[in-house]
Every structure is written in C-alpha cells, then in structure tokens.
C-alpha cells in the first residue's frame, strides 16, 4: 500500500515538530504546603475538615494521616488537586498498621478515599494558607496563617507579625484537634 505525497508531507511535518520539542503544553504543578482533608466518623455521623502540613502526621480517630505531596494546577487550567498520602491505623493492641499509601484525587473522592470500618478520609483541597499554625520545627515552604473565614484572595492574608501571634488561638477559640479514640474495653 502506497501513501500519497500529501500524507507523507503531513507525517514529515509532524515528525519535524516533534523533533523540535514542540508538544502539547502541560500545566505546571503548584506544590502546596497544606493538604485539606475531610473525615467521616461513621459512629457519630460527623464530618470533620482538617488541615495537615506536608510531612506532618495528624490523628483522626484511630487513623494517622500523613500527606507527602499536595499539588494543584494554576487557576487558568482545569482543576486537578492531587496528594500522595499515607494512612496508618492504630490497632487495639497499639500497633501501627499501614492501610493506605497512594495518590488521592480531590475530584474523585469515592475512588481514592480511605475506607475504614469506622472512619473514612478523603482529600478536598491543597492550599498555600492555613488557619492552623505550622507544627514546631516545620521546615517546609512558608505558609500564611490566616484567621478562619478570612478572604484568602484579598489583602487581609498577611501572616502574623510575631511567632506568638501565630500560636495564639483564633478569635479566642481553641483550634480544634481531632480527639484520640477511646479504648473499647
């Protein structure tokens, strides 16, 4: 079977473009220092939203959640929020057992969520800001600590001027921390 001359020219043109390194543009990933999760306690029916810094471990019930990477795309691109997460379960014998290690996609929480008999955890967002101050010894990228409900797109997102201000409770209320699961026996 012979190719027509026009088909050969098209093929050569595409090959030349490929050789020049011209390919479809891929959106740059934005690495964020804070991953935002939601957790469902199936016993009480309560859903809790919590911020976790990259590399930090936060306990939600009997689960310990540790995000390793949290990426988003620029606002000019299609949204895609992804995070590589490791989740460990604290058993009744106080043993740590890894129950999840993989990528979570905020757009598909049902496909890539941690399903546990008592708790479900899924990724909802990645952020550059947080209402929770960074953990002690945090060495990641700088994070702006904002008051809850603050306009993160406006001018009122300045970080606290002193470390004491960053550690102070917001509006006189204590920062919520997921409580440890009480023993069953």
Whether 8 is in a domain gets the answer no
pLDDT: which is higher, 9 or 131? 131
Query: Under 8 Å CB-to-CB from 121, ≥6 apart: which residues?
Result: 37, 38, 39, 40, 60, 63, 65, 87, 113, 114
pLDDT tens-place string over residues 160-174: 444 454 444 444 444
pLDDT tens-place string over residues 30-55: 899 999 999 999 999 999 999 999 99
CA torsion 6-7-11-13 (nearest 10°) is 20
What are the tokens at 144? 């702006």
Whether 48 is in a domain gets the answer yes
Confidence of residue 26 (pLDDT cuts 50, 70, 90): low
Whether 129 is in a domain gets the answer yes
Total number of domains constituting the chain: 1
Whether 54 is in a domain gets the answer yes
Whether 41 is in a domain gets the answer yes
Q: Pick left, alpha or beta for residue 94 (phi over 0 → left; psi -120 to 50 → alpha; otherwise beta).
A: left
Distance CA 55, CA 126 (A): 14
Alpha-carbon distance values, 156 to 36, 50, 160, 162 (Å): 21, 22, 11, 16
Whether 132 is in a domain gets the answer yes
pLDDT: which is higher, 90 or 185? 90
Q: What is the pLDDT of residue 66?
A: 96
Could you list the residue range(s) of the whole structural domain that residue 137 is in? 30-149+157-166
Q: What is the pLDDT of residue 27?
A: 65
Q: What is the pLDDT of residue 25?
A: 54
Q: Identify the CA nearest to 47 among candidates 104, 108, 124.
A: 124
Quote the pTM value: 0.65
Whether 161 is in a domain gets the answer yes
pLDDT tens-place string over residues 106-132: 988 888 788 899 999 999 999 998 888
Whether 38 is in a domain gets the answer yes
Q: What ranges make up the beta strands (E) of 45-133?
A: 46-53, 58-60, 63-72, 82-90, 96-105, 114-115, 119-127, 129-130
pLDDT tens-place string over residues 50-100: 999 999 999 999 999 999 999 999 888 888 899 999 999 999 999 999 999
In this structure, the number of other CB atoms found within 10 A of the CB of residue 116 comes to: 19
Query: Under 8 Å CB-to-CB from 127, ≥6 apart: which residues?
Result: 32, 33, 34, 35, 36, 51, 152
């Amino acid at each position: 079977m012979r190719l027509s001359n026009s088909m050969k020219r098209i093929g050569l043109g595409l090959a030349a473009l490929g050789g020049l390194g011209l390919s479809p543009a891929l959106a740059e990933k934005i690495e964020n220092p804070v991953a935002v999760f939601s957790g469902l306690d199936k016993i009480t029916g309560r859903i809790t939203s919590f911020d976790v810094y990259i590399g930090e471990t936060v306990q939600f019930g009997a689960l310990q959640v540790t995000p390793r990477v949290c990426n988003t795309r620029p606002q000019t691109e299609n949204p895609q929020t992804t995070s590589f997460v490791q989740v460990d379960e604290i058993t009744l014998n106080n043993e740590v057992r890894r129950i999840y290690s993989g990528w979570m996609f905020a757009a598909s929480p049902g496909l890539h969520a941690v399903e546990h008999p008592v708790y479900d955890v899924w990724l909802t967002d990645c952020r550059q800001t947080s209402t929770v101050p960074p953990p002690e010894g945090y060495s990641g990228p700088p994070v702006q600590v904002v008051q809850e409900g603050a306009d993160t797109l406006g001018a009122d997102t300045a970080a606290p001027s002193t470390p004491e201000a960053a550690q102070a409770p917001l509006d006189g209320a204590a920062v919520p921390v997921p409580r440890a699961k009480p023993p069953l026996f």
